[in-house]
Amino acid sequence: MQPAPDKLIPFEALRACALRLLQASGVPEDEATLVADTLATADARGMHSHGVMRLPVYVEKIRGGGFVPGAESVILRETASTVLIDARQGLGAVAMTRAVDAAMAKATQTGVGVAAVTNSNHYGEGAYYARKPVEAGLVAL
């Protein structure tokens, strides 16, 4: 069922609202921009369960210390083709972006790049992250 046209929110307005809410919750601008884009994009694709409806949970978890904006992730283990990243409870979108970037770099060097993340949380819709490697001519699973 499609929403009535008068109930539609323009993408940029939705993303900007999410950005302001995240920043007001103490999320650094670069991380807030990424998270807002992932959530608004999920809504734009019709994947509302992974969209801005998650923001109240994000804010609650940030306030309670379960999500740690600005956390510096660390590499726990690494080989030529693999990497395991500890997100240290940082925002899932940030950890997933780092993992995708690492996997892409490894795939470019060795033909295969596999990344895993631990101690993370909700990262939005997985399809958001698959676009980057595909746009670079890589296969993403």
CATH at residue 16: 1.10.1530.10
Examine residue 69 and state whether it is found in any structural domain, yes or no.
Answer: no
The secondary element (H helix, E strand) that includes residue 30 is: helix 29-44
The domain containing residue 37 runs over which residues? 8-64
Domain boundary among 39, 64, 89: 64
The count of structural domains within the chain is: 2
Per-residue pLDDT of the chain (141 residues; tens, 9 = 90+): 566 666 789 999 999 999 999 999 999 999 999 999 999 999 999 999 999 999 999 999 999 999 999 999 999 999 999 999 999 999 999 999 999 999 999 999 999 999 999 999 999 999 999 999 999 999 988
Task: Compute the distance between CA of residue 87 and CA of residue 27 in angstroms, rounded to an integer.
Answer: 15
Examine residue 115 and state whether it is found in any structural domain, yes or no.
Answer: yes
At a CB cut-off of 8 Å and minimum separation 6, what does 53 contact? none
Q: pTM to 2 decimals?
A: 0.91
